[in-house]
Amino acid sequence: MKQAQRTEYLIDLNKIEGTGDFPCPNCGVIISPEDETESVYSISETKLRDESLEQLVILCHRCGSKIRVVGFLSSQSGTAETETETGS
Ligand SMILES: [Zn+2]
């Protein structure tokens, strides 16, 4: 049985509490953005917008899932855009 089934998952960092670690939606292995050893995952694609990281596509080494990570830009989801805070 050889199924090259690459399921793609979506992770929104805005919905994750903590330091940005999240479990792989498929196998549950903890993926930490600060882990640069690439033992658990590797980054296959990065998208930048105005020099800010907008999107990241990572590959889980454990199950082979492709995980798209968004939400690096806090204003992305347009959550009731607050007025520009210009400290009083
Ligand atoms: Zn996985």
Whether 76 has a pLDDT exceeding 50, the answer reads no
Rounded to an integer, the average pLDDT of 25-33 is: 92
Report the separation in Å between the CA atom of 40 and the middle of ligand 1, taken as the mean of its atom positions.
9
Between 49 and 87, the more confident residue is: 49
pLDDT band at 27 (very low <50, low <70, confident <90, very high): very high
pLDDT at 83: 54
* Rounded (10°) CA dihedral 68, 73, 79, 84: 180
86 vs 39: which has the higher pLDDT: 39
Q: Output the CA 86–ligand 1 centroid distance in Å.
A: 43
Measured in angstroms, how far is the CA atom of residue 66 from the centroid of ligand 1? 8
Cα of 69 from ligand 1 centre, angstroms? 14
Look up the pTM and report it.
0.72
Q: How far is the centre of ligand 1, averaged over its atoms, from the C-alpha of 28 (Å)?
A: 6
